[in-house]
Amino acid sequence: MSSLKLVVHKAETIKWHPGPFHSNKAPNLYVKVYHNKHCLLKTHALGRNGNPIWNSSCDLIGVAPSEILTFCIFHCISHINLNMRIAVANASIQDLIEQSCSDQGVYFDLNVSRGKFRLYVSLEAFTVQQAVTQKTEGISKLAIPSTTEEVLAPADTIKGVSTSGNFSKSFNVVLSALRNIVKIGDELAKVHPYANAAWTLLTSVYKIMVNQQEMDDKVIKLIEAMAGLYSFATDADMVMKKSRHVEESILNITKQTLECALLIREYSGTSFLARSFQNFFSGTEQRIDQMTITLLELKDTFDRGITIQTTVMTAQILDRVRTLEVQRILEQLRCTRPPSIVHHECLAGTRIKIIADITEQLTTVSKSPIIWLSGVAGSGKSTIATSISEYFRALGRLGAWIRFARNDVRHSDPITVLHAIVSGLAQAHPDIEQAICRALSRDSHLVEAPIEKQFHELLLGPLNTVKEHLVGPFIVIIDALDECAQDSRRTMINLIANFFPKLPMAIRILITSRPDADITRGFRNVKSVDEKCLITDSEDISLYIGNRLHKIQQEHNLGLSWPGKNKMQRLMSLSGNLFIWAVTALNLVEGAFQPRKHLDALLETSFKEDTLDQLYTLALISNGYWNDPEFQKSATLILATIALCKLPLTDTVIDSILGLEDGLTAQVLTHFGAVIQWNPGQPAQTLHASFGDFLLHSASKKNPWFFEIAEANKTLTLGCLTVLQKCLRFNIYNFPDSYLLNSEVPGLAESPLPVGLIYASRFWGSHLADTEYDDKIVELLGDFLMNQFLFWLEIVSVQQVVSFAGKALQFAQKYLT
C-alpha cells in the first residue's frame, strides 16, 4: 500500500518592494497549505530571509487526484503582530503528480503587487511500512517502550523495491538472446520481425529501468521469467541448432516477448510516484500475472522440444462477448467487405530490412505516427503492406486494413473508409468498442453528418476518452491510396494529413501509394508523416526469381541444371528491380506448355526502355488467338470491361452485361492468367494496377486489343440498360406490405438478386457520363425512365445507394439535353 507526502521545500524572492520604511529588508515569509478549508501544513517564519528553506511536510491520506490544494504565502510583520497574505496558488493532486515526474519538478511563480516569488514543493510516495517506521522513530524519541518488531509485524509488504543486480542480469539475458535471434534472421524469417521489435523496445527502456530507484515486484518477476525462458538462446549456435525443430515455439515466444516489452515500456514511462497514487496496477497486475504464466508455459513447450499451440496473452482483455445490442449499434456504420483481390506476403527472407524498419517504427514511440511508403508501380508496396498487416494481426494489434482498387468505387468513399477504421478499432479493443457505442447511442444521426464531424465525434473523441487504457500500438493500414477514386482522393489526403495526426499516439498508420503529385503535395510538409521511399534490393528480386524458377523446374521435370546462372542473371537485368515485371514474366513461363522454350524466347526479346509495357504486350500476344476475329472481338470487349468496370465482376456477370454466350468470358480469361487474377465464379481483376494503365493508355491502334474508352463505356451503358429492361419488375423484393419501412422487413438487403442487376442499377449512370451521344441509348433510357423508374428506385433504396441514384439522374438529364 502506498500514500503520498507533500513537502514544501523553499521560496525564492525574485522581486520585492518592501515599502518606504524598510528599503533594505527582505520579506519574512511562511506558507500554509489548505485542503477543503482545512489547514494541512504551516511552515515557520524564518525571519527576514528572501530565500527561506523549510522542507516541511505532511501526509496526504485519502485525498483523491482530482481534489485541490491551496498554497498561501504570508509575510509576517512581527513588531506589530501582522500576518499579510500576499499570494495564493491552487493545484490539483493530479497536476502535482505529473509535474513531480518531470525533470523541472513542481514550482509556482507568484506575481503580487509588491514583488514576485517562486515556491518549490514536491510529492513523494511512501508505503505503510515506511509510515510505521517513521512513527516508531518518533515514539522512541519520546522514550516510550516499544519494540520495532512488534510495530512492523502487521505492516503491508512494500511494493516498491530497490533495483538489484539480479534485475540487470535478467534484462541482459533477454537482450542477448533476442540479439542472437535477430542475427540469424534468414534462418528464422517468420520470427525475425517480432524479435527485432522486442529487442529494440527493451533496449530503449533498459537504461531507464536500471536507473529507476524503485520498481514493482511483479515487473521484476516478469523480467526474471523472460530471462528463464530465454536460457536456450545463450549463443547464436544454440539458437540455430534448435530453431530448425521448434521454429513455431520460438515464434510464439518472441510474440509474447513483444507484448511484455510493450507493457514494460508503458511501465518505464510512469514514475513510481505516479504508479503509487494513480493506481497504475489496477487491472495491470492480472495482465502481468497472465503474461508470466504464459511465459512459463512457453518455456515448458520449448524444453520438451514440441510445438503446441500456445495462446499469446496480449495486454488487451480478450475474453469478451459482443452483445446483440453492441452489434445493433455498430451496424449503423457504413462498412463493407474489403476488395476481393488477393495479395500474398513477401517471400520468406525478402524485404527483411524495410519490414523490420516499418514494424519497429510503428511499434515504438515515434514523433511521426504516420508512415507513408511511396514507390513506383510494381515495386511491391502492397505485398509489403500485406506482410506488415499479417505481422500485427498475429499480435492482435491490427486495427484496420483498407485497400483501394481503381475499379472499386464503393470502397473509395471517404466516409466508408472512416467507418471501416472505426469498426476495425472497435473490434481490436473492448474499451474502444464501448466508447464508440456510446457516441453512436448519443446521436443516432451521427453517421449522416459531414466527415469532419464524424471524425471528431465518432473516432477522435471516443479514442481520447480511453487512451489511458491502450497499452501498445494499434495499426491502421491504408494500401494503394493512389488507386482511390479521383472524386474522393482530395478528401482522403486532407483527412490523413490534417486530421489523423490528432489521434492518440497508440494509433499508428501506414499509407502506401505511388508518389503522385497530389499525394506528394499533401504529405511532404506534414511533420507527423514520415515518408519512406521504397528502393528494391536486387538480392530480394534475385531470391524471388530463384525461388519461382526452382518451383517451375520441379513441376515440369526440367533437370537440376535448368535454367542456369546466365539466364537467371538476364532475367534479373530485364526486371529493372520491379517485382511486378518478375511476377508477370515468371507467370508466363510457368503457364506455358513448354516452359524451357518460353523462357528462351522471353530472354531473346529485345526490350527497350519501357520493359513492363513490352512484357504486357508479350503476355497478350503470346497467349491469345488474335488472328481469329471472334476471339479478337470478345477478348477486347472483356479486357475493356475489366479495365473500366466500377466493381470487379465475375465471368458470368460480364457475360450477362455484354450479352455474350454463357461461358465465353471464362473461356477467354483462361488465356490471360499471367496478367488477370481470376478463378471460375470469382471476380476478374488485373493482377496489378499497372496492367490496367497499360490497357487504358495503349497508344498504338495496331494492337489487336486496342479499344476507345468512350466506345467501351457506350457498350457497358447499353449492357446495363438492357439488363434493367429485362430484369426490373414490380415488388422485386416481395414486400409483404407496401406500407412497411425497409427496416421493418428482416433480411431485406440480403434478398438474392442477380449480381448483374445490382451492378446495372448502381452504375448505369457512371458509364453513361463517359459515353458519347447514341440513339439506341436514348431509346433505352427513355423506356427505362417512363416504365421502370419506380422499380429501380426500390432496388437503390434497399441497397442503400440512393446517392448513386441522384448522380445517375443528373447524368441522364445532361445526356438528354
pLDDT for 181 = 67
Task: Looking at the structure, tell me whether residues 333 and 477 fall in a common domain.
Answer: yes
Q: Judge whether residue 194 has pLDDT over 50.
A: yes
pLDDT value for 157: 32
- pLDDT of 119 over the 50 cut: yes
Q: Please report whether residue 632 resides in a domain.
A: no
Mean pLDDT for 83-97 is 82
Domain count along the chain: 5
Task: Please write the tens of the pLDDT for every residue from 609-618.
Answer: 677 888 888 8
Residue 481 shares a structural domain with residue 571 = no
Q: What is the pLDDT averaged over residues 7-36?
A: 78
Residues 340 and 481 in one domain: yes
Pairing of β 68-77 and β 29-35:
antiparallel
Q: What is the pLDDT of residue 738?
A: 67
Q: What is the pLDDT of residue 141?
A: 41
Please give the grid coordinates belonging to residue 418: 472512416
3-state secondary structure 354-387: HHHHHHHHHHCCCCCCEEEEECCCCCCHHHHHHH
Specify whether 552 is located in the same domain as 577.
yes
Measured CA to CA, the distance from residue 767 to residue 710 in angstroms comes to: 9
Q: Does one domain contain both 126 and 196?
A: no
- 139 belongs to a structural domain: no
| 246 within 8 A of 307, measured Cβ to Cβ | yes
The domain boundary residue, chosen from 130, 148, 169: 130
Mean pLDDT of 717-727: 95
The pLDDT of residue 253 is above 50 = yes
What pLDDT shows up at residue 666?
A: 93
Q: Are 463 and 396 part of one and the same domain?
A: yes
Given pLDDT bands bounded at 50, 70 and 90, which one contains residue 235? Answer: low
Give the CA angle between residues 198, 363, 301 to the nearest 5°.
Answer: 35
CA 573/CA 578 separation, integer angstroms: 10
The DSSP element (H or E) to which 122 belongs, if any, is strand 115-127
Q: Is residue 107 part of a domain?
A: yes
Q: Under a CB-based contact definition with an 8 Å cutoff, are residues 651 and 669 in contact?
A: yes
Residues 289 and 329 in one domain: no
**Boundary-marking domain end, from 551, 577, 604:** 604
Instruction: Please give the pLDDT value at position 198.
Output: 75
- Cβ(223)–Cβ(167) under 8 Å? yes
pLDDT of residue 283 exceeding 70:
no
- Please determine, for residue 87, whether its predicted confidence score (pLDDT) is greater than 90: no
Q: Which of 583, 604, 625 is a domain's end point?
A: 604
Cell numbers for 734: 416481395
CATH of the domain at 68: 2.60.40.150
Top mean-pLDDT range of 363-377, 515-529, 625-639: 625-639
Buried-state track 652-669, b at ≥16 Cβ within 10 A, e below 16: bbbbbbbebeeebbbebb
Does the residue 412 lie in any domain?
yes
- Separation CA 757–CA 721 (nearest Å): 10
- What's the domain range around 20? 2-130
Q: Please tell me whether residues 214 and 296 are part of one structural domain.
A: yes
Q: How confident is the model at residue 497 (pLDDT cuts 50, 70, 90)?
A: very high
Question: Kind and range of the H or E element at 55?
Answer: strand 53-60
Average pLDDT over residues 673-698: 85
Within-domain flag for 628: no
Residue 499, pLDDT score: 95
Lowest mean pLDDT: which of 543-547, 746-750, 755-759?
746-750
**Over the chain, what is the mean pLDDT?**
78
Please state whether the predicted TM-score (pTM) of the whole model is above 0.85: no
Q: What is the DSSP letter of 334?
A: -
**Closest C-alpha among 95, 120, 84 to residue 12:** 120
Q: Specify whether 547 is located in the same domain as 523.
A: no
Considering the domain boundaries, does residue 615 fall inside one? no
Q: What pLDDT is attached to residue 384?
A: 93
User: Does some domain include residue 794?
Assistant: yes
Same domain, 65 and 176: no
Q: Looking at the structure, do residues 106 and 210 belong to the same domain, yes or no?
A: no
Q: Residue with C-alpha cell 492480472? A: 286
Phi, psi (deg, nearest 5) at residue 578: -100, 120
Specify the pLDDT at position 278. Answer: 45
Average pLDDT over residues 70-98: 81
In terms of domains, do 441 and 516 share one?
yes
Q: Is residue 621 part of a domain?
A: no
Length of the chain: 817
